[in-house]
Amino acid sequence: MSASKDLSEQLTHLYKNHASKVLASLVRLLGDFDLAEEAMHEAFSVALDTWNKQGVPANPTAWLISTGRFKAIDNLRRSKRFGELEPDIQRLLTEIEEHNQTLSQQDIEDDQLRMIFTCCHPAIDPQIQIPLTLREVCGLSTEEIASAYLVSTSTMAQRIVRGKNKIQQAKIPFVIPDLQELPERLDAVLSVIYLVFSEGYSASTGNSLLRVDLSNEAIRLARLVLALRPDSEVMGLLALMLLHESRRKARTDENGNIILLQDQDKSLWLQSYIDEGRSLVQQALETRRVGAYTLQAAIAAVHAQSTDNTDWNQIISLYSVLLQVEPSPVIELNRAVAIAMRDGPQAGLDAIDNIEEKSELRGYHKLYSTQAEFFSRLGKTTEAAAAYKQALKLVKQSAEKRFLSEKLAELSPN
């Protein structure tokens, strides 16, 4: 491999895994989203030429932030706008110039937390907070976010622009809120982190079921929030993600095909994640302030114990409590699966009958794939085939399409 190709791959890796950190710091330093994004991309462009001649710096993330910062200053100086800038902005640029070019890793990680809490400020429309954070902090594309929210890309782009404009117009500070302000923003922050993890754990679109970069980013962000506020639900969320992520290597085969939980090779499960997840669940439960994330983590912890002799009674009980805390048709569907595992497929179908009419799930492929599985286990191949076909009309993810197609083919091998 040539040196230039190797450097290009390093930069691609840096962009994929650290662009959000660079952007967060530049937004804080420059106070302008668009200027920060432009500066970030220019810094990566400069890096390709500079690092090819001088080598990769010891702290490439800090180098990119410093370079982006000074590129932004140069661009402003060259523009006609610079002479018209308000005195306070000129002072800001002077401060930036004098800022130490060496940023510690803690500075950079704090900037990401600042950005998350800024995007989740109560002055911003709650419907915009999460999409804005997913775009600006976590690096999801506008297309991915629009798909998750079932709206057009142009509609989502307009919402994100409104969110950025609100931050600048309302002069929302890029700071981590104090202890009095923290609780009102925590729910939105945890929702963002869990959405990022969910997209990494089971991608909504694309060829690969897994996006490890997103899963790892969500876990890292949850650890940062937990260090800031050791709240029971932060513990529960981190535990939930660790317990799910512990099974990543066992969830697909070498061709990227899905392997169901009961068929997974448990020797591939990451025991350190399971142990940490269980410990966090226990700590969260001991606070007696149990929320939805902690309950979901408790369910995942039961699954992590064994797939051969799963305590379905306990799982059903936990789902029942979870439905009281956070009523949701998806949680009802998961509970129906647990009932089927304990009492048989007909009991599962009976439980689904009460869910099917809810409009939220009519476009949810897993409702129909679950029905299909139950029908298949009862020997009702015609009904199973119809349900699998409906699921295939709705599913967008390639690995899930292959899985459902194989299941459908198994019903009529001839």
pLDDT band, residue 106 (cuts 50/70/90): very low
pLDDT of residue 14: 82
With b for 16 or more beta-carbon neighbours within 10 A and e for fewer, the 100-135 pattern comes to eeebeeeebbbbbbbbbbbbbbeebeeebbbbbbbb
Rounded distance between C-alpha atoms, residue 138 and residue 126, angstroms: 18
The span from the CA of 148 to the CA of 134, in Å, is 11
pLDDT score at 281: 96
**pLDDT band at 1; cut points 50, 70, 90:** very low
Among the ranges given (19-33, 56-70, 240-254, 381-395), the one the predictor scored with the smallest mean pLDDT: 19-33
pLDDT higher than 60, residue 401: yes
Q: What is residue 100's predicted lDDT score, i.e. its pLDDT?
A: 37
Of the chain, the percentage scoring pLDDT greater than 70 comes to 84
Domain boundaries of the chain, sorted by first residue = 1-103, 311-414
Instruction: Specify whether the CB–CB gap between 335 and 316 falls below 8 A.
Output: yes
Across the range 225-250, mean pLDDT stands at: 92
In the structure, what pLDDT confidence band is assigned to residue 63 with cuts at 50, 70 and 90?
confident
Alpha-carbon distance of 97 to 323, in angstroms, equals: 54
Comparing CA positions, the residue from 293, 178, 184 lying closest to residue 228 is 178
Q: What is the pLDDT of residue 80?
A: 52
| Calpha distance 351→345 (Å, rounded) | 10
* Measured distance between the N- and C-terminal CA atoms of the chain, rounded to whole angstroms: 49
Q: Which of the two residues, 68 and 281, has the higher pLDDT score?
A: 281
pLDDT of residue 170: 82
Q: What is the pLDDT of residues 124-173, one digit of tens each?
A: 888 888 888 888 877 778 887 887 676 788 999 999 999 988 888 887 87
Q: Using CB atoms within 10 Å of the CB of residue 46, give its burial: 0 to 12 exposed, 13 to 18 middle, 19+ buried.
A: middle
pLDDT in tens, 319-355: 999 999 988 888 999 999 999 999 999 999 999 987 7
Q: How far apart are CA 74 and CA 406, in angstroms?
A: 58
User: In this predicted model, which residue has the larger pLDDT, 148 or 393?
Assistant: 393
Query: What is the Cβ-side half-sphere exposure of residue 64, based on CA atoms within 13 angstroms?
Result: 28
| Candidates 3.20.20.140, 3.30.1360.70, 1.25.40.10, 3.40.50.1820; CATH matching 311-414 | 1.25.40.10
Whether the pLDDT of residue 99 is over 50: the answer is: no
Q: In this predicted structure, what is the pLDDT of residue 206? A: 54
pLDDT band for 105, please (50, 70, 90 cuts): very low
Q: Any bridge partners for residue 206, and if so which?
A: 397
**pLDDT tens digits, residue range 185-214?**
788 888 888 888 887 787 655 555 567 778
Q: What is the mean pLDDT of residues 301-318?
A: 87
Amino acid in the structure at residue 259: I
Instruction: Supply the angle between the helices 292-305 and 271-286 in degrees, to the nearest 10.
Output: 140
Inter-residue contact 395 to 404 (CB < 8 Å): yes
User: Could you say which architecture CATH assigns to the domain 1-103?
Assistant: Orthogonal Bundle (1.10)
**CB contact set of 288 (below 8 Å; sequence gap of 6+):** none
The residue-averaged pLDDT of 178-183 equals: 66
Side chain identity, residue 149: Y
pLDDT at residue 233, as a whole number: 93
- Please check the confidence at residue 98 and state whether its pLDDT lies above 50: no
pTM score over 0.85: no
- Asked whether residue 84 carries a pLDDT value surpassing 80, the answer given is no
pLDDT band with cut points at 50, 70 and 90 for residue 59:
confident
